[in-house]
Structure 1
Amino acid sequence: MRFLFAEILSATKNFDKKLEIGHGGFGRVYKGVINVINDKAKMIVAIKRLDSKSKQGEKEFISEIETLSKLRHKHIVSLIGYCSYGSEMILVYEYIERGTLADYLHKNKRDSRALPLLTWKERLNICLGAARGLDYLHNNNVQEVIHRDVKSGNILVDLNWMAKIADFGICKVESTSHTHTSTEVKGTIGYIDPMYSSTKMLTKKSDVYSFGVVLWEALCGRPVLDNKIDDEQQHSLVLWVQRCYKNKTVHKIIDSSLMGQISTDSLQLYIDLAIACLHEEGNRRPTMAKIKEDLKYLLTDGLNFLRWEELTYCP
């Protein structure tokens, strides 16, 4: 659906700063209200406006429209429409109420409101939803896509704690004749696959690496790069967890709020999966389909552990 610029101005109250709910590589995102069904109803939406200072532009704008107009999945954010007016490039999406996974893991604030700590069950459920969305991108029958910017900030969470993958501006359509695509390296520092960075050969396993970083974020509850830490290895979440995994001290870096929520066996399976996603050789990493099944098992196993704990400690 194509919107008039006047409709966008009305929906955002002339891009009122108070309606701003986020910003990224493309530009600022606003909460807005649009008229639908011949102006008989209203819909709350998220409106992303290209920033004139952004390194992204028309290429990313068109890529997002073309990709999301062909794909439909409950774990992928829906594109409602767009607006192109002069230098203005604007995308309109369904509004996802709870914000991003990153907000909950290490920002702990949204719209000046304190956010609740996520339980292990909630984190697993969100990761599973994101894995399902990525598996669909990689293996659907319409257009196989490599997202290229998988990160906790691009995993949105709705009112029912359902995860949705967002931001497709720099995604790549998978080549049908090759197992990889030679391309300029793009993505977010800390999440970029080192193999892709060094060879410029992009594959689905590059998304797997990035998702592995998200799995570690979910377990440790800290950002992928922490500027407050001077130690180079601890500054980088990936270097930190790899060192701890080698030294068998991962249990020391788990988010303290999760203590008592994860069984020993489940934790080991999760750690093994997360570390496998970071393997330096892409072909040694699991597929998103495998990750999806493993997380599904872990979520079920975790629920059984919690039920057992309730029975054990019932007064």
Structure 2
Amino acid sequence: MGNNCSKKTSFIKSIVEPSCLTPFDRFPVPFVALQEATNNFDESLVIGVGGFGKVYRGVLCDGTKVALKRYGPGSQQGLAEFLKEIEMLSQFRHPYLVSFIGYCDENNDMILINEYMENGNLRSHLYGVIHRDVKSTNILLDVNFVPKITDFGPSKKEPEIDQTHVTTFVKGTVGHLDPEYYRSQQLTEKSDVYSFGVVLCQVVCARLVIAPSLPREQINLAEWAMNCQKKGQLEQIIDPNLVGKIRPDSLRKFGETAVQCVALSGKDRPSMGDVLWKLEYALRLQESVI
């Protein structure tokens, strides 16, 4: 499918040195194939909208269901993120990463082609590498509700062995952004831990991360959850649909883990490996009842 790539106007070939074209020369898909897959980008097939443009669902000629992330035609806004996603996703394959199928770079159009996730994003089910933008809308769910991470445009490579951080302009989403990273512009693995901790709070409370209409102490979900956990009142703020369904010691362990993740200082946060172990332990406590 990639062998039919058009030689028309290309952002990538105009800014990337020929020696750097890999993987950009391995995954191209012709624009006409994507027009056919989406009935010429029918608006009824739009499944998401972001600052970059729109996401369409489609079906390729071989029957593969895909999600097409289309950057605004004729605009160079988001070009760096477009290139970064191709570079990152073409290098990695993991059962919990959304699979990268290819890209299109023709006629001033920039389109990323990923596997289609039947059940949308995690946030829609809650209330109706350093990734750098871990949030519930970037965690997608397949037909069996297996979660996978997407949107690696803002991502950064990990620090070298002799480094503790990467210095970079602040990018991320309000409410999910590591306050230490915001203050210092120093990005570490613990920045993702903070963002994931916010997602954990969101999963158990099923509410917006920032809710300006609520009382002042409740506006920021991470801060509110942290205060309630310290007071032993986490069970009072969880999703009403979960009340009575979670074993107290399991909820306590889950809450402890989430609060540790959103500690203001990165050194006080657990590693992602520790987070995984703690969540598995909380799950075992819950399953012992089931």
The TM-score range, normalised by the shorter chain, is: 0.7 to 0.9
Q: Which residue of 1 aligns with 2:187?
A: 202
Q: Per the alignment, in what secondary structure is the counterpart of residue 90 of structure 1?
A: strand
Q: Which residue of 1 aligns with 2:55?
A: 29
Answer yes or no: is 1:214 the counterpart of 2:199: yes
Distance apart, 1:169 and its partner CA: 0.5
Answer yes or no: is 1:265 the counterpart of 2:282: no
Q: Deviations over 1:12-42 (max 9, x none)?
A: 112111101112232211001112xxxxx32
Q: TM-score, normalised by structure 1?
A: 0.80
Distance apart, 1:249 and its partner CA: 2.1
**Counterpart residue identity of residue 50, structure 2:** G
Q: Deviations over 1:196-248 (max 9, x none)?
A: 0000000010000000000000110111012432x232122122212323333
Distance apart, 1:299 and its partner CA: 1.8
Task: Flag structure 2 segments of 5+ consecutive residues without an equivalent.
Answer: 1-26
Q: Which residue of 2 aligns with 1:181?
A: 166
Q: Which residue of 2 aligns with 1:19?
A: 45
Q: Per the alignment, in what secondary structure is the counterpart of residue 169 of structure 2?
A: coil
Tell me how far apart the structure 1 counterparts of residues 104 and 168 of structure 2 sit (CA, whole Å): 28
User: Contact 2:180 / 2:265 at 8 angstroms: preserved in 1?
Assistant: yes
**Counterpart residue identity of residue 271, structure 1:** G
Percent of counterpart pairs with the same letter? 45
Q: Which residue of 2 aligns with 1:96?
A: 117
Q: Which residue of 2 aligns with 1:61?
A: 82
**Among 56, 78, 99, which residue is 1:78 paired with?**
99
Answer yes or no: is 1:234 the counterpart of 2:214: no
Q: Which residue of 1 aligns with 2:231?
A: 247
Tell me how far apart the structure 2 counterparts of residues 264 and 89 of structure 1 sit (CA, whole Å): 49
Distance 1:198 1:53, change over 3 A: farther
Distance 1:303 1:262, change over 3 A: same
Q: Which residue of 1 aligns with 2:67?
A: 46
- Detail structure 1 runs of 4+ shifted over 4 Å in the superposition: 52-56
Tell me how far apart the structure 1 counterparts of residues 242 and 179 of structure 2 sit (CA, whole Å): 30
Tell me how far apart the structure 2 counterparts of residues 271 and 283 of structure 1 sit (CA, whole Å): 19
Answer yes or no: is 1:293 the counterpart of 2:271: no
In the comparison of the two structures, how many residue pairs are matched? 263
**Counterpart residue identity of residue 251, structure 1:** E
- Which moves more between the two structures, 246-255 or 68-77? 246-255
Q: TM-score, normalised by structure 2?
A: 0.87
Tell me how far apart the structure 1 counterparts of residues 248 and 74 of structure 2 sit (CA, whole Å): 48
Distance 1:245 1:54, change over 3 A: farther
Distance apart, 1:303 and its partner CA: 1.4
Task: Flag structure 1 segments of 5+ consecutive residues without an equivalent.
Answer: 36-40, 109-144, 307-315
Distance apart, 1:259 and its partner CA: 1.2
User: Contact 2:121 / 2:137 at 8 angstroms: preserved in 1?
Assistant: yes
Q: Per the alignment, in what secondary structure is the counterpart of residue 257 of structure 1?
A: helix
User: Contact 1:262 / 1:305 at 8 angstroms: preserved in 2?
Assistant: no
Q: Per the alignment, in what secondary structure is the counterpart of residue 140 of structure 2?
A: strand
Alignment of 1:114-125 (within 5 A): none
**Counterpart residue identity of residue 27, structure 1:** G
**Among 24, 29, 36, which residue is 1:3 paired with?**
29
Q: Which residue of 2 aligns with 1:157?
A: 141
Distance apart, 1:56 and its partner CA: 4.6
Distance apart, 1:268 and its partner CA: 0.9
Distance apart, 1:6 and its partner CA: 1.4
Distance 1:188 1:268, change over 3 A: same
- Which moves more between the two structures, 52-61 or 81-90? 52-61
User: Contact 1:27 / 1:54 at 8 angstroms: preserved in 2?
Assistant: no
Distance 1:154 1:54, change over 3 A: farther
Tell me how far apart the structure 2 counterparts of residues 255 and 52 of structure 1 sit (CA, whole Å): 41
Q: Which residue of 2 aligns with 1:141?
A: none
